[in-house]
Chains A and B, each alone.
Chain A
Amino acid sequence: MILQNFFLKMKSAAVADSWFMHTSVMQYLVKTGLLFFNYFAPKTRLCQKVRTGSLGKGNAIHPTAIIDYDKVIIGDFCNIEKNVVIEKNTIIGNQATISDGVVIGSEGFELRRIAGQIIPVAHLGGVIIHDNVHIGPHVCIDKSSLGEYTEVGESSTILSSVQVGHGIKIGKNVTVSDGTMIGGYARIGDRVKIGKHCSISDGILLDEDIVITDYTVVTRDVKRSSHDTPRSS
């Protein structure tokens, strides 16, 4: 937890844009530090690991789905369709539906531009998909870059071509419509509804019961004021 806070602080714009981060000595130090981290962190306890995979009963899995069965836990009565790719360190609950062409647990898009080079950050986490989740076709769910899980809460629905970035926490009963892009480390509360083709910036907090209409670009936290009445449904 302390480590995670440290990383989030380092990522904040105030630190990243300050003058001492742009000096050549500091750039060199950050670059070597990052390369050191990328090399050693996957071998340490920071890395989330599903040691032994398991497969529950009553699952309907299409033969073209590619699943790393040794390091994936799948619950009961799941429906996994054609050309689905499920990478290691993924945990799927009961009665989940995963449609065609979905990629779960792929590498996230976290990169650092240091000293005229682009260096990727090693991703150590995994993905948890809770019970009764429906995931539409061609959705991408990335694994978290820190040693924790990207989560999709109970009874949530994600429609087609949605990107769920690394380290996102989606609450219960959430609906995310087609073509929406959600940036890294966003936290989405329970019963939120997100319209089609929205873009949600990284690190955003959406409170419970919020509705976001189609084509919205969200770049600031959305908090529910005390005057709002909760939705009846």
Chain B
Amino acid sequence: MKLSDILSEKNNIIRDGIFSSMGTLYSQYPQQIVYAVRESDIIKIMANASTTCVITTPSLVSMIPDTRGIVSAQDPQSAFYALQSALHQNPDFVLQPFINQISPSAKIHQSAVISSTSVAIGRDVVIEKNVIVNEQTIIDDGSIIRSNSTIGNIPLQLGAVKYCPEILPSGGVHLHREVDIHANTCLHRAIFKGFTDIGEQTKIDNLNTVGSGTTIGKRCLICGGVSIGESVVIGDDAWIGPNAILENQISIGKNVYITIGSTVTRDIDNDKVVKDNYAIDRKRFKKVIRGM
């Protein structure tokens, strides 16, 4: 789809471009449109090859590379969510509903509530008491979901509520093979076409919240009370300690160790150990402390 086809105000389009999906700075949807508010976002757009169009403020327009289509707006975030709600009727931008496919070998407790459409549950899946599984959820073989958890609820996007009070999510949740979700955990649905994706053999403890559009790699261990923001990308073999908080739209590398009670607000490279509030690399932290 071309930018000039969908937008009514033609003079806002600085350079025309083609897009076929909506996404965030880290997501890898093909030909995606994103919004940029800060100068640091421009570097992320240049690194991400799948981004083809950008909605941004007039001051940042000159910094965006020539290959991307540009729309200028005073408030890029509100323009982006207005576009999202406008495209919700378009079948190219929404996951299509399908008939429930529930394997006969899945053990589902009678008190669990499974949506009547668009749920796929694989072999040997265990769903315990009072679990709620909403539509557009795919659960692969051998996963376990423990009591009182909610899979695929509609997220509350605080930034977007200001502009469009009704968020219409067009994505879903995908749990891969042998994922464990423990009690009282919430997994939000993705807002854009795509999935909140939990990798193979990842185990998530009690009382967690995983934001919409988050991608978690294989064999991660996530302890109790962790709240993970929206559109976070977590690599394989990560370990996240109890009560940690991960900010929206950050990427965390492979084999990262985030200690107990950390608050992570920026990107983390592979094989790092981070700790404390505003978590930074452990070695750098020790150097700073010695220098004082």
Known: A66-B130, A85-B148, A183-B223. 20 other contacts (CB 8 A): A66-B111, A101-B184, A103-B148, A106-B147, A106-B206, A107-B146, A107-B182, A109-B182, A109-B206, A113-B219, A113-B221, A117-B219, A118-B219, A120-B180, A163-B242, A165-B224, A199-B241, A199-B243, A217-B243, A217-B260
Q: How far is the CB of A187 from chain B (nearest CB, A)?
A: 17
Q: How far is the CB of B226 from chain A (nearest CB, A)?
A: 9
User: What residues of chain A lie closer than 8 Å to B219, measured between beta carbons?
Assistant: 113, 116-118
Interface residues of B in 222-273 (CB under 8 A from A): 223-225, 237, 241-243, 260-261
Interface residues of A in 200-230 (CB under 8 A from B): 201, 215, 217, 219
Interface residues of A in 174-212 (CB under 8 A from B): 179, 181, 183, 197, 199, 201
Complex CA distance for A183 and B259, rounded to whole angstroms: 13
Interface size, chain A (Cβ < 8 Å): 29
Known pairs A109-B182, A163-B224; A199 contacts B206 (CB<8 A)? no
Q: How far is the CB of B206 from chain A (nearest CB, A)?
A: 4
Known pairs A163-B225, A199-B261; A181 contacts B147 (CB<8 A)? no
Is A142 on the interface with B (CB-CB < 8 A)? yes
Q: How far is the CB of B223 from chain A (nearest CB, A)?
A: 7
B184 A109 Cβ-Cβ under 8 A: no
A181 B221 Cβ-Cβ under 8 A: no
Complex CA distance for A143 and B242, rounded to whole angstroms: 18
Is B124 on the interface with A (CB-CB < 8 A)? no
Complex CA distance for A183 and B148, rounded to whole angstroms: 21
Q: Which of B146, B223, B237, B241 contacts A103 (CB 8 A)?
A: B146
User: What residues of chain B lie closer than 8 Å to A120, measured between beta carbons?
Assistant: 180, 203
Complex CA distance for A215 and B203, rounded to whole angstroms: 25
Interface residues of chain B, those whose CB is within 8 Å of chain A, are 111, 128-130, 146-148, 180, 182-184, 201, 203, 205-207, 219, 221, 223-225, 237, 241-243, 260-261
User: What residues of chain B lie closer than 8 Å to A116, measured between beta carbons?
Assistant: 219
User: What residues of chain B lie closer than 8 Å to A113, measured between beta carbons?
Assistant: 219, 221, 237
A103 B224 Cβ-Cβ under 8 A: no
Q: How far is the CB of B179 from chain A (nearest CB, A)?
A: 10
B206 A142 Cβ-Cβ under 8 A: yes
Q: How far is the CB of A176 from chain B (nearest CB, A)?
A: 13
Interface residues of chain A, those whose CB is within 8 Å of chain B, are 66, 83, 85, 101, 103, 106-107, 109, 111, 113, 116-118, 120, 138, 140, 142, 161, 163, 165, 179, 181, 183, 197, 199, 201, 215, 217, 219
Q: How far is the CB of B202 from chain A (nearest CB, A)?
A: 8
Q: Which of B111, B223, B260 contacts A219 (CB 8 A)?
A: B260
Complex CA distance for A217 and B276, rounded to whole angstroms: 9
Q: Which of B147, B201, B260 contacts A201 (CB 8 A)?
A: B260
Complex CA distance for A106 and B131, rounded to whole angstroms: 14
Known pairs A117-B201, A140-B184, A181-B243; A83 contacts B130 (CB<8 A)? yes
9 cross-chain pairs, A with B, having the tightest CB-CB distances, nearest first: A217-B261, A140-B206, A181-B242, A103-B183, A199-B243, A199-B261, A163-B224, A85-B147, A109-B205
Complex CA distance for A120 and B205, rounded to whole angstroms: 12
Q: How far is the CB of A90 from chain B (nearest CB, A)?
A: 13
Can you name 23 A-B residue pairings with CB atoms under 8 Å? Answer: A66-B111, A66-B130, A85-B128, A103-B148, A103-B206, A106-B147, A106-B182, A106-B183, A107-B182, A109-B182, A109-B221, A109-B224, A113-B219, A117-B201, A138-B207, A140-B183, A140-B184, A163-B207, A179-B243, A183-B223, A199-B260, A199-B261, A219-B260
In the complex, which residue of chain A has the Cβ closest to the Cβ of B239? A113
User: What residues of chain B lie closer than 8 Å to A217, measured between beta carbons?
Assistant: 243, 260-261
A161 B207 Cβ-Cβ under 8 A: yes
Q: How far is the CB of A68 from chain B (nearest CB, A)?
A: 10
Q: How far is the CB of A224 from chain B (nearest CB, A)?
A: 23
Q: Which of A118, A142, A197 contacts B221 (CB 8 A)?
A: A118
Q: How far is the CB of A183 from chain B (nearest CB, A)?
A: 6
In the complex, which residue of chain A has the Cβ closest to the Cβ of B241? A199
Complex CA distance for A85 and B243, rounded to whole angstroms: 23
User: What residues of chain A lie closer than 8 Å to B148, measured between beta carbons?
Assistant: 83, 85, 101, 103, 138
Complex CA distance for A3 and B209, rounded to whole angstroms: 36
Q: Which of B129, B180, B242 contacts A66 (CB 8 A)?
A: B129
